[in-house]
Amino acid sequence: MLFGVLIALDAGLGLIPNTVFWFQEASIAAGIGQPPWLSGWFAFWLAQANTYGTIEVALVTALEFALAMALILGFLRKVAYFGGIALLVLIWATVGGFGGPYDPGTFDIGAGIIYAIGFLFLIGLDAALPPDHHTLDARIARRWPNWARWAEVSSSVFRPSGGAPRRPHEAVSNPRVPQDP
Q: Would residue 178 count as lying in a domain? A: no
Q: Would residue 168 count as lying in a domain? A: no
Q: Would residue 177 count as lying in a domain? A: no
CA distance 29 to 39: 12
Judge whether 125 and 114 are in contact, CB under 8 Å.
no
CA distance 54 to 46: 13
Q: Is the pTM of this model over 0.85?
A: no
Domain count, the chain: 1
Residue 100 has pLDDT above 90, yes or no: no
Residues near 132 by beta carbon (within 8 Å), at least 6 away in sequence: 74, 138
Each residue of 79-91: b (16+ CB within 10 Å) or e?
ebbebbbebbbbb
Residue 105 has pLDDT above 90, yes or no: no
Residue 160's pLDDT is what?
A: 47
**Count of Cβ atoms closer than 10 Å to residue 33 Cβ:** 11
Q: Would residue 66 count as lying in a domain? A: yes
User: In which region does residue 76 sit, left (phi positive, over 0), alpha (psi from -120 to 50) or beta (all else)?
Assistant: left
Q: Would residue 170 count as lying in a domain? A: no
Q: Would residue 27 count as lying in a domain? A: yes
Confidence of residue 173 (pLDDT cuts 50, 70, 90): low
Which structural domain, as residue segments, surrounds residue 76?
Answer: 2-100+109-162
Q: Would residue 171 count as lying in a domain? A: no
Confidence of residue 181 (pLDDT cuts 50, 70, 90): low
Q: Would residue 64 count as lying in a domain? A: yes
